[in-house]
Structure 1
Amino acid sequence: MSEAARRTLAFAAVATVSTAGLWFLWPQGRAPTLASFRMRTASISMPESLDVTCAVGDDPEDTLFVLHTTDDNYNASYLPFRSSPRNSLPTLDHTDSLPLDCLESFFSKGTQCEDWMTLAPRFDFVWTWVNGTDKLHQQAKLETEREFFPARQRPAQRPGQTPPSKEAKHFRDHDELRHSLRSVLNNFRQHTASFHLLTADFPIPAYEQNPVMGTDLCGALDSSSWRLGQVPQFLNLEQDRWLDGDIGLTVSHHSQFFSNYSGTSFNSFAIESQIPHISNLSKHIVYMNDDYFLTGPLKPYDFYTPEFGTVLRIQSDLMVTPAGQLKRPSGDGSGEWLSLEYSNDILSRRFGYRRRPYVIHEAKSASTVILREMVHTFPAAFDETAHNKFRMTPSLGPQRDLHTFFTFAHYVVERWREAALWAWVVARSADRPGEKWLETAWEELAGPDAKTKTTLTVRSTRRRTLEPDYVKDMLGGESSVGLSTYDFSSKDGYPYSSLGNQGTKKWPDMRNLTGTAEDDAKHPHFKCELSYDTCFAGASDPAALFTRIAFDQLACGDCIMNALVAKSGELGLEALLPARNATAVPRTAEFNPPPMLARTPRWQDADFSLSSVVPTDGQLDLRSWTLQLLHRYRFVIGSTPSRFVSLQSSWQAKQELKKLDRDASKYQLLCVNDDITRQAEDVDKVFRDWQEGKWGSPAAWERP
């Protein structure tokens, strides 16, 4: 069915008790037959007066449900659709492709490709949203709670009663979504491709036959295949397409993109885990909760550039411990910390156990290509998360939730480290003498007198990668640079090597290093020790050495990364690349399938040998393949002026919002959390008025 026809079948819930006041659309020339039905309300959290008006046209698909009630607070809209289950993995794809000679310039010399100017992409923005006051949402939630929770653990709540505040804040609505959308239109319009709104959907409500007509007219919609998709009340359902200028808004309901969908989800982690399955996303997205806002003009530089990769916002001084290294969970499941610890455990099984830093709670940029690769790498974790209807609860046992965007950020960083170490140990091994490959590898790090050394002190040296003038040149000039600060680039190695258990206040700044002992006190990243016996001795082959330093002895791999960066000079990463092949390679060559290392959830189950990883058809240029592998995972850690505000009470909310107004020129990203403990109605009005004052111009898709 076309989107326009789907709009025609719009479901609307309105506060009225007679069909005379109902608002709905109907195809021109098709006069509907109206009949009224009583919903079964015995087991659902709804007023007993909730009725259904069913309008039936000539075509069985042209059936309209309208819910009406005397409850003035009940206001919801729905779009009907046929459910079509998905159960396949998303397709693996290339990231943005660059000519091979450009990749050579980037990674070998650290220079711009002179005759190939790359254009920043346009981004898709993705929001998740739910109207927690919707009666169908409340019904589905109550019924799912009865199934999911044992009776003794289910919250004591009567039908129609407001849920406890700790839970209610996840579903309370202050019209944030409308203004979040407007904030992006105001501040990032020219760089935006489209908006995607992800919302819940529900089964067709149960109803009784009309006692007068005695026919089941609403049966035209088979409840087993049709569902009602929630839409924000502010959207104009009379429009054939939702457009504001050249930016389109698409509403996707959970059962339309979930893999193996099993019913309405009330778990934001589950919903986020299924974003990789949305088929029409561009390669680069910005993920927004409905309480995220852009408060000032931003540029692609603030989220992604072809030269530096995805911008990750990571906090260096707040560390997350893998769940497997904890005696007990750190939270009760209502927040995100349990999910973070579990996600770090998933990452640690694949990349080695360590604490990893917190991903900041604000707008998150991501690569759709890498998100989909993650689903292939951790299929069981994604599938389990998708089926968790509520956030993980320790008292219920082994349920686990993957935190998709925490996992994404660290997956990119760890895949980069893995690719760089594999390039030096395994790919470069083809250039080393067969029987002396291990000694040669040690000599590349320790120098010509390596035979007399069993330990090596490695010191970082000056790098120009993030010098302002260099960044501007790489991006094509001052006009391309945004407001973010680039703090650490993948071209300068691995950022976590010095974080330890407690983290560090700042990321290492490598722009003014001397490469001597006087740098040691500046940051723990700048000095490390390598032991031949711990890191190298006894390795049977390059793949065995690689798994040891990459996953088993993490400090070895971290320090080797620092050494290779230092040996590469002020720019580029020549020291870790395999030798150049004299054979000319077409500058537009692209390897299929895309260059990747093993996609297994545990590193112990993977084969990293050269013959296993790289196709052996005799035509492949190993250096070119390795360059594309590295290019796939490039990133930069950045920071953007931002604010995080928690609303708790009326007076406190007014003070916080005044402070935001006073400091408006000092930040571009904003998150406003609902932590309301009292005066909820007053806080709601204060916040709504503030948003309207900030972003008062309606989008073209809003109802007049």
Structure 2
Amino acid sequence: MFQPTWLPRRRPLLHKATFVASTVFAWLLFVHIHYLFAKPSTYTHLDETQLQVQVQEDETHHSFQSIDPCPTSREVLSIKAYEAMSDECVEEWVAHHQWSSACTGTNLSEGLKVDGVWAWVNGTDPLQIAAREQYKPGTAMKMDAAHRYVEHNELLYSMRSALTSLGNENMQRMHILASAYRHSNASGKMMTGQVPTWLEKAKALTGESAVVLHHDADYFKPIESPGTNLSSEKTQEWREAVLPTFNSLAVEAQIQNIDHVSSDQLVYFNDDFFTLRKLAVSDFTTPLYGPVIKTLTRFTSMYLPAKKTIWRTFNPAGEEPGIKRAAWVLGMRFSMRPYYYITHHPRTLWLPLLREAAQTFPEAFTNTPLSRFRAQDDVPASIQAVFLGSWYVVERHREALLWSWVVAKWGGTSGELSTMTKDDMWEELAGGTASSKSLLHISVPVRAPILDTEVFKKANISLPTSTEYSFSSKDGYALSYVDSMWPWNRPRHGYPDLTSGLMGNTSSQLTQDPNFVAANACVINRLTCFGVSQENETANDFFKRIAFENPRCGDCIVTALIGASGVSGIDKFLPDHLAGADSASYSDTLTSPPHLPLTSNWTTTDFSMPDAIPKGSLPANMTLRTWCIRLIQRYSYVLGSVESDLYKVERAGDLEVKMSEIELKVQEDGWARGPLTFLCLNDDIKDTGKLRNRIDELLVSFFEKMWPDRMNFEKED
């Protein structure tokens, strides 16, 4: 399963060769096309009186006065689901992965519900069509295809499907993110927002009902960089540059600003996403393991970081440019490495962590809406915010583990690592047996099963019905394991089974078989990772070297310490129970949750303890160990997989066959790998005329057959 450490690492070399060749070819082709067709970068910006569309308040529009909002707050949000756990319970669960007496009676209800969020636009609305024509770019670039805006009433049935799958008790509030367009009046602040034809508008606009209608003019906000202060004039200038928007990537980069949420935990849907069977909240998230992030780890699903991607020219409206740019933004903070695709079905986003990602990368999140259309090339490059926000959690967890071990545990209040201290650190990684060795061969850890059914039962949490928990952050850093495996040896979900070599029948009895020989995972080179051993250095410098400068060092150290912690828990990363922090770090009250610096570049960041611990995040009654555990817990996650299908709706004849196939796959025994759970019906219709009408008939018939039950905020017929 794992690539032996003495074999050459072929995958990165193959990636590099493929990447260089494809980049050279693409660049030559781009230069040729550019000189043939390039035009000056200007906008065809019509006068608003030329729109010739009557704007009025009716059942499908809402007129309102836009209030100039302030920039997004830089206040770091706590996670309510974790606040319910006492420090003693967190010690049990996070440090030792046990749900014992200290956790008995813990109320986890805040983590047992989600809010659904849908991005939606009615592209057949004359107001939307006119606005699109008004703001269309005047460059040679290809404008977004018209089918991105076509309305098939998918939103209604997508929301019905989610509510049918999860129930009102689990999905207590649903949010619709809609577009709004300016009136032509003197003040320029009157807006008309779109409203779905089937929605009871009065309920949706209160902000307190089961459904909330948000218009982009309400929640689109820039975010300030640290140390800057956006004036109201600058904020308004930004809003005028980004609104109205015709770009779903811009909407996704602003989700963290929506209000009236009933839960920290969001499930984000495109309006063509559908859920096909009964689901539990744990299919998306739990207060035990964190958000469930569903990824693909196929060779073709890997994205290399790119500051300026050639895909922006050849497939400007696709996801690739935003994903590659997001990977580059992550790499500037956490070290450059490939990342894998976040699957194209409902995605879990924890609002406090998405907000934190925006606070860490304010420029990326603020610049993305400057592209009114996906394909614009005369503005800063966009990011795919859902991709960035998902992998941000994974990277912050790795950072928290390594920081706790280097800076908090070994650096301590002095912040210095002597040669003797580094010898002790090496001994710990070697298991106390190989201090004279210059290379440590680290074995694959033997760990308890990811999903502990006993804990779910004790914590009164329903088990997932359809999602396979493929990897949990309790077992370290996910991507280091993937990198140790040959692509053809990866299981379907891409992550290894670490339970080989376990003995015992229950979670409390599990131990490692002393006769089990684990495969090699990686090698730690003392000179590369520890630097010149006879020299003292700061914990900050040591941490930055292994975490970012030589990331393979940090990856392998995480794997080593996970193995040293036993079959469960992360105890080896943590400072002693009596360890303290610098006295200046303590505060009378907790005003900020534990987190490390919200900076966008690791090279210019100081991670020493006094600078890394935010003032007001370490109350006087909290130990440094507990602070580190809370820090690590904040970024807990699960990587999972589920049976899903993405189908491009192109032709009526093919669609009719597909609908029959889907109905079969929904059945328990109708799908070889388990029942189909998620469906995306992507609109890429090629048919016209009567065949186009036939597609609409087939979709409506399928939708009504699958999800006939009305929601309580739909209009009466």
Give the shorter-chain TM-score range: 0.7 to 0.9
Whole-Å Cα distance in 2 between the matches of residues 347 and 686 of structure 1? 43
Structure 2 partner of 1:687: 699
The secondary structure found in structure 1 opposite 2:152 is coil
* Distance in 1, Cα, partners of 2:269 & 2:309: 31
Change (3 A) 1:615 1:340: closer
3-state DSSP of counterpart to 1:557 = helix
Q: Where in structure 2 are there 5+ consecutive unaligned residues?
A: 1-46, 222-234, 502-512, 581-587, 668-674
Residues in 2 aligned to 1:476 and 1:651: alpha-carbon distance in whole angstroms: 48
Deviation at residue 240 of structure 1 after TM alignment: 4.9
Q: Give the corresponding residue for 1:306.
A: 287
1:149 Cα offset (Å)? 3.0
Whole-Å Cα distance in 2 between the matches of residues 200 and 241 of structure 1?
Answer: 15
SS of equivalent residue, structure 1 residue 496: helix
Q: What is the 5 A alignment of 1:612-651?
A: 612-614=611-613, 619=620, 620-651=622-653
Say which of 645, 648, 656 aligns to 1:654: 656
1:412 counterpart residue number: 393
Equivalent residue letter for 2:155:
L
**Residue 434 of structure 1: CA displacement?**
5.1
Q: Is the 8 A contact 1:418 1:550 kept in 2?
A: yes
Instruction: Report deviation, 1:247.
Output: 6.0
Q: Which contiguous aligned blocks of 4+ residues in structure 1 show a shift greater than 6 angstroms? A: 325-328, 514-517
Rounded Cα–Cα distance in structure 1 between residues aligned with 2:164 and 2:397: 35
**Equivalent residue in structure 2 for 1:194, among 173, 181, 199:** 173
Q: 2:549 — aligned with what?
A: 552
Separation of aligned partners in 1, 2:417 and 2:709 = 68
Name the one with the larger helix percent.
2
Specify which of 181, 188, 192 is matched with residue 159 of structure 2.
181
Check conservation: 2:87, 2:626, Cα contact below 8 A. yes
Q: Which residue of 1 aligns with 2:6?
A: none
TM-aligned CA deviation for residue 340 of structure 1: 0.6
Q: Which of 168, 183, 192 is 1:228 aligned to?
A: 192
Shift of 1:472: 3.8
Q: Which residue of 1 aligns with 2:138?
A: 149
What aligned pairs does 1:445-456 form with structure 2 within 5 A after superposition? Answer: 445-456=429-440
CA contact (8 A) 2:467 2:641 kept: yes
Q: Paired residue for 2:250?
A: 270
Note if contact 1:425-1:546 (Cα within 8 Å) is conserved in structure 2: yes
Give how far 1:373 is off: 0.6
Residue matched to 2:150: 172
CA displacement 1:281-320 (0-9 Å, x = unmatched): 2211110110011211111111111111111101122211
The 1-side partners of 2:282 and 2:54 are apart by 52
Task: Work out whether residues 305 and 325 of structure 2, in 8 Å CA contact, stay in contact via their aligned partners in 1.
Answer: yes
Q: Tell me the distance in 1 between the aligned counterparts of 2:431 and 2:419.
A: 19
Structure 1 SS opposite 2:553: helix
Deviations 1:189-225 (A, max 9, x none): 2201201111000112x5xxxxxxxxxxxx7xx6522
Instruction: Show the counterpart of 1:137.
Output: 128
Q: CA deviation at 1:390?
A: 0.8
In the alignment, structure 1 residue 574 sits paired with structure 2 residue 552: no
Consecutive unaligned residues of structure 1, counting only runs of 5 or more, are: 1-39, 53-63, 67-75, 156-165, 207-218, 521-525, 584-588
Contact residue 124 and residue 196 of structure 1 kept, 8 A: yes
**What is the aligned-residue RMSD (CA, Å)?**
2.8
Alpha-carbon contact 1:258-1:274 (below 8 Å) kept? yes
1:379: Cα distance to partner? 0.5
Contact 1:307 1:474 in 2 (8 A): no
Decide whether the 8 Å contact of 1:123 with 1:285 is kept in 2: yes
Q: Which amino acid aligns with 2:280?
A: K
1: CA distance between counterparts of 2:499 and 2:197? 52
The residue type equivalent to 1:550 in the other structure is A
Contact 1:195 1:250 in 2 (8 A): yes
- How far, CA to CA, are the matches of 1:319 and 1:517 in structure 2? 33
Distance 2:514 2:475 in 1: 14
- Specify the structure having the higher radius of gyration (Cα): 1
Name the CA distance, whole Å, in 1 between partners of 2:105 and 2:117: 31
TM-score when normalising by structure 1: 0.80
Q: 1:121 to 1:331 in 2, by over 3 A?
A: farther
In structure 2, what residue type is equivalent to 1:442? W
Q: 1:512 deviation in Å?
A: 1.3
Asked if the contact 1:487/1:638 (under 8 Å) is kept, the reply is: yes
- 2:321–2:383 CA contact under 8 A, matched in 1: no
**Alignment counterpart, residue 216 of structure 2, candidates 254, 262, 269:** 254
The answer to whether the 8 A contact 1:129-1:177 is kept is yes
Distance 2:449 2:332 in 1: 32
Describe the shift of the 1:582–1:561 C-alpha distance in structure 2 as closer, same or farther (beyond 3 A). closer
- Distance in 2 separating the partners of 1:225 and 1:287: 29
Shift of 1:661: 0.5
- 1:596 matched residue in structure 2: 595
TM-score (norm 2): 0.78
Instruction: Work out the CA distance in 1 between the residues paired with 2:190 and 2:244.
Output: 14
Q: Does 1:110 align with 2:97?
A: yes
Identity percentage over the alignment? 28
Moved more, 667-676 or 572-581: 667-676
For 2:114 and 2:589, locate their aligned partners in 1 and report how far apart those are by CA, in whole Å: 24
